[in-house]
Homo-oligomer: A and B are copies of this chain.
């Protein structure tokens, strides 16, 4: 929890998140401000655990800059990464956040990151105060769900080489930013096999 308290933000830029929210559903200036006031800006260094499996996740984080990863650990200790959250994405363990239950996933920064946190309590009371926010977050969750359905389908229906090609199309910048074995764990394959895939492609081209 240390990382939540140590660092004081200076010079926080709320431009990106404001546009992000407004793109979902219109908010009056006052409503938007009420939300922004309740955000806690945090600078978090590279490779810091934000949430460890078993803890309760009482925040959602908007990534203003940097890169964050959420992942599960299977019984053999291999990780399955659920999401890479880059600039302009949210990250959280939603199940733990809403139920108050211990989380099954872990979350960590991969780069020095600037996050904007909203706490569960604040979010609840803001919803009561500003119903339009309820709409914004409903829409965000819906998008999330649609995206995960796509991903699920791809993971079950497509072979690994296709999945990797698709991944490169959609996230061309990621391979330069995150270690390869994490991409492998996102694709649901071993690091060794991803390396072989890349070898094959390079050989061909």
Digitize A150-189: 1 where CB-to-B-CB distance is under 8 Å, 0 elsewhere: 1111011110000000000000000000000000000010
Which of B94, B131, B134, B188 has a CB less than 8 Å from the CB of A145?
Answer: B94
Query: Across the interface, which residues of B come within 8 angstroms of A142, CB to CB?
Result: 94, 98, 141
Query: Across the interface, which residues of B come within 8 angstroms of A105, CB to CB?
Result: 149
| CB pair A151 B149 closer than 8 Å | no
Contacting residues of chain A (49-97) with chain B, CB-CB under 8 angstroms: 72, 74-75, 78, 80, 82, 94-95
| CB pair A149 B149 closer than 8 Å | no
Kindly provide the distance from the CB of A186 to the nearest chain B CB, expressed in whole angstroms.
Answer: 10
A144 at the interface (CB under 8 A from B): yes
Count chain A residues whose beta carbon lies closer than 8 angstroms to a beta carbon of B: 36
Q: CA A82 – CA B155 in complex, angstroms?
A: 12
Query: Across the interface, which residues of B come within 8 angstroms of A138, CB to CB?
Result: 134, 137-138, 141
Beyond A134-B138, A152-B151, whether A146 also contacts B80 by CB under 8 A is: no
Kindly provide the distance from the CB of A163 to the nearest chain B CB, expressed in whole angstroms.
Answer: 11
A127 at the interface (CB under 8 A from B): yes
A148 at the interface (CB under 8 A from B): yes
Identity of the chain B residue whose Cβ is nearest the Cβ of A143 in the assembled complex: B98
A20 at the interface (CB under 8 A from B): no
The 6 closest A-B pairs by CB, nearest first: A74-B157, A138-B138, A95-B146, A131-B131, A145-B145, A134-B134
